[in-house]
Amino acid sequence: MLNPYRVLDLTTERGLLCGQILADLGADVIKVEPPGGSPARRLAPFYQDVPDPNRSIYWWAYNRNKRSITLNLETDEGRELLYRLAASSHFLIESDNPGHLATRRLGYSDLAACNRELIYVSITPFGQDGPKATYADSDLVILAAGGPLLLGGDEDRPPLRVSVPQAYLHASADAATGALVAHHERVRSGLGQHVDVSAQQSVTIATQANNLAYRLHADEARRMAGGVKLGSLRVPLVWRAKDGYVTLGFLFGRQLGMFSQRLMNYLHELGICDAATRDKDWIAYGALLLSGKEPMAEYERVVGLIAEFAANRTKAELLSAALERGLLIAPITTMDEVLQSPQLQSRQYWQLLEHPELGRSFPYPGPFARFSAAPIAYRRRPPLVGEHNRELYVSELGLTEGTFADFARRGVI
Amino acid sequence: MLPLDDVKVVDFMWALAGPGTTRTLADYGATVVRIESANRVDGARTVGPFLDNKPAHDGSGLFGTYNAGKLGLALDLNKPQARGVVLDLVRWADVVCESFSPKAMRAWRLDYESLREVKPDLIMLSSCLMGQTGPMSKFIGFGNMAAAVAGFYHLCGWPDRPPSGPFGAYTDYIAPRFGAISVLAALDYRRRTGQGQYIDQSQAESALHFLTPALLECAANARIEQGIGNADPNYAPHGVYPALGDDRWIAITCKTDQQWRSLCTVMDRGNLASHQAFATLAMRHQNRDQLDHIISEWTRGLTAHDAEVLLQQSGIPASAVQDSNDVSHDPQLAARRYLAEIEHPVCGKTVVEGPRFLLSRTPAMIARPAPSVGGDNQHVVETILGYDQDRISELVAAGVLG
C-alpha cells in the first residue's frame, strides 16, 4: 500500500517497530546500521542461545520486510552517503538521544536542508525538549514515569511490568501514526516536518485515563493481584481453572450487570447457586455493596461460588461456555497455546519466513490488519548485517565497484 | 490548516479500542461524526475516572479523552428510517469505522458490501476482539479478555504466583494505533489508485505484535516464556524498589557495568563495584536477590523523586513510579501539554489527555470536548446532511434522532 515510499530507518534498539509497520504496508524500508550491526542485534534471546548478530530473536521480531545496509555515521564520507540517500527518501526514523544526530549534522534541520519534503521521525524516551529530555531510560523507567507501572501487579509486592518490554512499542506505533499523518499533509503542502514522539507520553495510554484522576478530583484505581481495586471493592479478574487460569468479569452496572446475570443463570442451572442468589439485582449490585445495603461478606460468598465453578472446569470448557452463553470469560493463554490457537490458524494468521542460512522457517505473527485491496505481504525475513550493501550502494546509488570496495575497506560502510 | 481537515469519518465505534483510532484522526483535523444510541449509551461513559468523582455520562475522563474532538449524533439504528440517515452520511464520508461484534453491521444492512453500493470508493474499518472470521469471531467482551487470549496475562506476573496481568483493557491501548495507521495508509492508496477497501482488524492480532519476541522464542527455541517479575535477561539490576512513603517506589535499571559502578558510588557503597559477586551481568543475575536487597536498603531512606534525581545525575536510568498526582505535576509531560483543559457545555471545565505525539509544523488541536449523547444532532443533519426542517422534525417524531 505504501510501495512508492522509501524509509531510512536509523533506529537503535528503540523504535524498530515503526519502520516495520511501514515495511509491512509495502514501503521500501532501509535499515541503516553501524558497521558490525545494530545494538539491537546484541539483545537476547538468541536462536539456540548462540549470541550472534544474525541470531537475535529480538532483532528478528522487529525488522522483517526491511533491507539492511551498514554505514558509519561517525565519518564525513558516511554522512555524505546518508545525505544522498535522504535526498531520495520520504521518511527518516531515528531513536537516538535528543541532539545526538544534530551534533553529527544529521538533525532534522540538516536533512530538511537537503530534502524539504522529508518527514523526520524521532522516537526518544521523554521527547526532544523539556527538563527530562536528557534522562537515561529503560523500558521499566519509562513505564514508571508515564503512569502504567504503578497500576500493575500484586498489592503486597512492587508494581510490575509485562516481562516483554512494551514502552518503545507504544512509542513506535505512535511514531508510525505520526509519520502517516504528516505524510497526508505533505501531499498537499509539499513539505515535510519533524514528528516528535516521547515514549513516556506514549505509554500514558496504558493507564486507561487513570492519569486524569488527580486533576478530575476522582478516585485512583489501585493495583491488586489479578484484578483491580475500585474504592473498597476488590474486583478479581484472574481465576483458577482446572488446567490454568482464566479471566472472568463479575461486574455490575447498567451494561455489565447483564453479563453477571447470565453467569448466575448458568450457575443456577448447574446447581451451584440457589434461586435467591441468581435473582439478586446484578445491575445495581455494585451500588448496593458500596452503600452497605448488601454486606461485603455476601459478595465474597458469591465470589467463592464462581471460583468453585471456574476451578472445576478446563480453560477450553470455560471458553466454549463463554461463546455459547455470552459470558465474560477468556482463557489466560501461554505462548505455545497462542501458536496453536484454532482461531489464529483458521484465519491463517502465522506467516512462515524462511531463514535459508539457518535451514529453517519460523512462524511470524501475521498482518496487523487485513486489507481487501492491498493485503500486507511478508516479503523478506529480517536482514543479515549489511545484507543489501552492494544492492543499494552499487546498483541503486551508483557507487563504482572500486569506491564500494574502498569504503568497505576503510570502514565507511 | 490541520493535516487531515479534508478527511470525513463516520464513527460507529464504542468503548476504547475503536474510539482511540478516531480520536487521533480528530486531533489532526478530520471531521468525525460519532454515532451513538440514546437508548444504549457507550459503556465508556460509565467508567471512571469521573469529574469530581460523580458518575455521569459527560463526566467520564475516560470517555472524554477517547472522544474529544468528535461530533455526536444520537441515532436509533433499530428504527428503519435510521438507515437512510446513515447512508447519507456514508455518501458524505471517506471512511466508516465500526467496532461492533461481527454480526451487528450485517443485521442493520450496514456492512461493507451494502455501504459500498452507495459509496464505491469507501474505506471501511471493522475492528473487533478476534476478527470478522474464525471460530472465536463471536467472542464478546473487552480488551482485558483479548489481552488474556493473546498471552499478555501469562507474561505479567511473579514466578511464584498466579499471573497478575497488565492493568485494564490492555489490547485497547495497542489496537487504536494500528487502526489509525490502517486508515491513513488506505487513504493514501485511494488517493493514488481511486480504490477504497475493507479493513478487518482483529484487536488480538494487532496486539500480538507487542509480544513477537516471546512468540518467536517459543517457535524457534521451544521455550515458553512467562512472567518473571521485574527481571530482565539483558540487564541487572533491573527492578522496582521501595521509597519513603506509602506505596512509593523507584524504578532502576543498570544497562551497563559502568552504570552499575555509578550506582555503587551513588549508594556510597563503592566497595561493591569491585565485588566479584556483582562484577558482570551474569554474576548480578545470579545474585539478584542479594543485589535487590542491597539496593532496597538504600532506596528505603529516600523519597522516590529524590532518588530519581540522584540517580539520573549520575546517568543511571531511574524514575519515581508516578501516580496520577505525580504525572499531573511532571514538568516533562507539562512541557508537551500532555493534559489539556477544556470547557464542556454540560459539566464545565474538565481535563482530557492531549495528543500523544507532536508534529512540528502542523500541531494537533482539540477542537471540542467529547460530545454529549446527540449533542451535535442539529449540526450534523442540518449543516452536514443539508436536511430541511420538515425532514428533521419527521426524524425526531419517529424517534430516530435521539
Tens digits of residue pLDDT in B128-173: 999 999 999 989 889 999 999 999 999 999 999 999 999 999 999 9
Report the residue from B151, B316, B359 with minimal CB separation from A334: B151
Same domain, A31 and A63: yes
Residue ranges of alpha helices (H) inside A240-340 are 257-269, 275-278, 285-291, 296-311, 315-325, 335-339
For an interface test with A, which of B4, B215, B218, B258 has the most A Cβ atoms less than 10 Å from its Cβ?
B215
Residue A211 lies in a domain: no
Residues A160 and A189 in one domain: yes
Predicted local confidence at residue A225, as pLDDT:
76
Does residue A393 fall inside a structural domain? yes
The phi, psi pair for A66, rounded to 5°, reads -100, 160
Judge whether A310 and A240 are in contact, CB under 8 Å.
yes
| Distance linking the first and last C-alpha atoms of chain A | 31
Whether residue A326 is found in the same domain as residue A352 = no
Q: What is the pLDDT of residue A259?
A: 95
Interchain contact A219–B (C-beta under 8 A): yes
Q: Is B240 in contact with A207 (Cβ distance < 8 A)?
A: no
Residue A23: C-alpha distances to residues A16, A66, A382, A400, B150 (Å): 11, 6, 11, 28, 23
Chain B: nearest CA to A332, how far in angstroms?
5
Q: Which three cell numbers stand for residue A369?
A: 490488519
- pLDDT category of residue B274 using cuts at 50, 70 and 90: confident
B164 contacts A153? CB cut-off 8 A: yes
Question: What's the average model confidence in pLDDT over A229-254?
Answer: 88
Task: Say if residue A36 is in the same domain as residue A106.
Answer: yes
Taking the CA of residue A54 and the nearest CA in chain B, the distance in Å comes to: 14
User: B23 and B167, same structural domain?
Assistant: yes
DSSP label of B382 = I
Tell me the backbone φ, ψ of residue A364, rounded to 5 degrees: -100, 145
Q: Quick check: is A215 in a domain?
A: no
Strands across the sheet containing A370-371: A370-371, B197-202, B123-128, B95-98, B8-12, B31-36, B71-74
Same domain, A42 and A182: yes
* Strand partners for A29: A7, A66
Mean of pLDDT over chain A = 96
* DSSP assignment of B140-174: ---HHHHHHHHTTTTTSS-TTS-----SS-THHHH
Q: Determine the pLDDT at residue A229.
A: 74
Q: Please name the residues between 259 and 318 in chain B that touch chain A, using a CB distance below 8 Å.
A: 259, 312, 315-318
Taking contacts as CB-CB distances below 8 angstroms, the residues of chain A near B168 are: 151, 206-208, 210, 221, 228
Residues B260 and B379 in one domain: no
Q: Which of B42, B94, B172, B292 is catalytic?
A: B172
From A268, A298, A332, the end of a domain falls on A332
Asked if B162's CB is within 8 angstroms of A238's CB, the reply is: yes
Which residue type sits at B275?
A: H
Instruction: Give the nearest chain A residue to B238 (CA atoms).
Output: A140
DSSP secondary structure string for all residues of A125-154: SS-SSSTTTT----HHHHHHHHSHHHHSS-
Name the percent of chain A lying above pLDDT 90. 93
User: A395 to chain B nearest CA, in Å?
Assistant: 28
* Domain co-membership, B42 together with B187: yes
Residues facing B200 on adjacent strands: A370, B126
Assess whether B27 carries a catalytic annotation: no
Could you list the residue range(s) of the whole structural domain that residue B31 is in? 8-210+336-397
User: Is there a contact between A245 and B163 if contact means CB atoms under 8 Å apart?
Assistant: yes
- Chain centroid to CA A113: 33
Instruction: Give the CATH number for residue A23.
Output: 3.40.50.10540
Asked if A157 has any chain B CB less than 8 Å from its own CB, the reply is: yes
Most B CBs within 10 A among A138, A139, A220, A256, hence the mutation to make, goes to A138
CA–CA dist A115, B320 (Å, integer): 41
Q: Which of B165, B185, B197 sits opposite A2 (nearest CB)?
A: B185
The Cα angle at residue B392 between residues B388 and B393, in degrees rounded to 5: 115
Q: Which residues of A touch B356 (CB under 8 A)?
A: 174, 201-202, 204-205
Q: What is the pLDDT of residue A15?
A: 96
Residues A44 and A189 placed together within one structural domain of the fold: yes
In angstroms, the Cα distances linking A109 to A39, A102, B376 are: 26, 8, 43
Q: What strands, in cross-sheet order, belong to the sheet with A233-236? A: A222-224, A227-230, A233-236
Q: Which pLDDT band, with edges at 50, 70 and 90, does A213 fall under?
A: very high
B39 touches chain A (CB under 8 A): no
> Measured between CB atoms, does A391 come within 8 Å of chain B?
no
pLDDT of residue B290: 96
Question: Is A165 domain-assigned?
Answer: yes
Out of A172-176, A220-224, B7-11, B285-289, which region has the weakest mean confidence (pLDDT)? A220-224
Do A314 and A402 lie in one domain? The reply is no
Count of domains for chain B? 2
Cis peptide before A45 (omega within 30 of 0): yes
Mean pLDDT, rounded, for B226-238: 96
Distance CA A270, CA A278 (A): 12
pLDDT number for residue A236:
87
| B389 touches A: beta carbon within 8 Å | no
Mean pLDDT rounded to a whole number for chain B: 96
Nearest CA in chain A to B101: A326
User: Is residue B16 less than 8 Å (CB to CB) from chain A?
Assistant: yes
Query: Judged by CB atoms within 8 Å, which residues 302-341 of A form the interface with B?
Result: 322-323, 326, 328-339, 341
Same domain, yes or no, for B153 and B96?
A: yes
Q: Which three cell numbers stand for residue B248?
A: 512509593
Which chain B residue lies closest to A184 (C-alpha atoms)? B3
Note whether residue B224 is domain-resident.
Answer: no
* Alpha carbons B234 and B254: distance in angstroms, whole number: 10
Q: Is residue B367 part of a domain?
A: yes
Same domain, B98 and B70: yes
Its domain, for residue A349, covers 6-206+345-409
Same domain, B184 and B282: no
Which one-letter amino acid corresponds to residue B392?
I
What pLDDT is attached to residue A224? 84
Alpha-carbon torsion (A141, A142, A146, A148), positive or negative: negative
Is A218 within 8 Å of B259 when comparing Cβ atoms?
A: no
Measured between alpha carbons, how far is residue A21 from residues A64, A118, A121 in Å? Answer: 9, 18, 14
The reply to whether B199 and B246 lie within a common domain is no
Residues B340-397: tens digit of each pLDDT:
999 999 999 999 999 999 999 999 999 999 999 999 999 999 999 999 999 999 999 9
Q: Which helix (H) or strand (E) holds B24?
A: helix B17-27
Give me A228's grid cell: 483491580
CB–CB of B177 and A174 under 8 A?
Answer: yes
Q: What share of chain A is helix, strand, coil (3-state, %, to 5)?
A: 40, 15, 40
Q: Which of B296, B323, B350 is the last residue of a domain?
A: B323
Residue B214, φ and ψ in degrees, nearest 5: -70, -35
What is the average pLDDT across B120-135? 97
pTM for the structure as a whole: 0.98
B158 lies in a domain?
yes
Query: Is the model's pLDDT at B50 over the cut of 80?
Result: yes
Domain count, chain A: 2
Residue of A201, A245, A355 to mutate when probing chain B, most B C-beta within 10 A: A201
> CA of A114 to nearest chain B CA: how many angstroms apart?
18
Decide if A48 is inside a domain. Answer: yes
Residue after which a domain boundary falls, among A332, A355, A378 = A332
Contact with chain A for residue B9, Cβ under 8 A:
no
Taking the C-alpha atoms of residue A132 and residue A85, their distance in angstroms, rounded to an integer, is 32
Consecutive H or E run containing B333? helix B331-335
Residues in a beta bridge with B9? B32, B95
CB burial class (10 A; 0-12, 13-18, 19+) of residue B194?
exposed
The residue assigned the cell 492531549 is B354
Q: Assign 3-class secondary structure to B44-109.
A: HHHCCCEHHHCCCCCCEHHHHHHHCCCEEEEECCCCCCHHHHHHHHHHHCCEEEECCCCHHHHHCC
- Do B54 and B177 fall within a single domain? yes
Is B328 contained in some domain? no
- C-alpha B47/C-alpha B60 separation (Å) is 6
For A91, the grid coordinates are: 521518511
Same domain? For A157 and A240 the reply is no
> pLDDT class for A189, splitting at 50, 70, 90?
very high
> Min CA distance, A396 vs chain B (Å)?
25
Same domain, A300 and A405: no
Evaluate whether residue B229 is within a structural domain. no
Q: Within a domain: residue B233?
A: no
Contact B99, B17 (CB under 8 A): yes
- Provide the CB-side half-sphere exposure for B242 (13 A, CA): 13
Please, which pLDDT band fits residue A233 given cuts at 50, 70 and 90?
confident
Interface mutation target, options A208, A355, A371, chain B, most CBs of B under 10 Å: A208
Nearest CA to CA, how far is B128 from chain A (Å)?
11
How many Cβ atoms from other residues are within 10 Å of residue A109's Cβ? 10
What would the DSSP string read from start to end of A388-412? THIIIIIIIT---HHHHHHHHHTT-
Q: How far apart are CA B72 and CA B378, in angstroms?
A: 10
B155 close contact with A: CB closer than 8 A: yes
Please say whether the beta carbons of B295 and B288 come within 8 A: no
Residue B140: per-residue pLDDT: 87
Check whether residue A324 and residue A393 sit in a common domain: no
A246 beta partners: A239, A331
> How much is the CA Rg of chain B, to the nearest whole Å?
25
Domain boundary among B323, B356, B371: B323
Supply the CATH number for residue B318's domain. Answer: 3.30.1540.10
CB pairs < 8 Å spanning A and B: 520
Per-residue confidence (pLDDT) for residue A142, from 0 to 100: 98
**B289, B375: one domain:** no
Residues A330-351, mean pLDDT to the nearest whole number: 98
pLDDT at residue B69 in the model: 98
pLDDT digit string, tens, across residues A286-323: 989 989 999 999 999 999 999 999 999 999 999 999 99
What count of Cα atoms within 13 Å lies in the side-chain half-sphere of residue A37?
17
Over residues A127-162, the pLDDT tens digits come to 999 999 999 999 999 999 999 999 999 999 999 999
**Single residue among B269, B294, B323 that ends a domain in this structure:** B323
> Can you give the CATH number for the domain in which B364 is found?
3.40.50.10540
Pairwise CA distance, residues A19 & A26, whole Å: 11
Residue type, B338: Y
Domain's final residue, options A280, A305, A332: A332
Residue B248 and residue B154 share a domain: no
A35 contact B CB<8A: no
Phi then psi for residue A145, to 5 deg, are -70, -30
Q: Is the dihedral of CA A384, A388, A390, A391 positive or negative?
A: positive
Query: Can you give the pLDDT at residue A227?
Result: 75
Same domain, A55 and A180: yes
Residue A320 lies in a domain: yes
CA of A30 vs chain B CAs: smallest distance (Å): 19
Q: In angstroms, how far apart are the furthest CA atoms of chain B?
A: 86
CB A206 within 8 A of CB B156: no
Cross-chain residue pair A204–B353, CB shorter than 8 Å: yes
pLDDT at A234: 81
The answer, for A342 touching chain B at a CB cutoff of 8 Å, is yes
* Residue B189 sits in the same domain as residue B104: yes
Same domain membership, residue A198 and residue A73 = yes
CA A168 to chain centre: 7
Among B145, B188, B252, the residue with its CB nearest the CB of A183 is B188
Q: What is the pLDDT of residue B288?
A: 95
Angle at A389 between CA A384 and CA A395, to 5 degrees: 135
Helices A139-146, A167-189: axis angle to 10 degrees equals 80
Whether residues B59 and B187 fall in one domain:
yes
Burial A234-251 (b: 16+ CB within 10 A, else e): bbbbbbebeebbbbbbbb
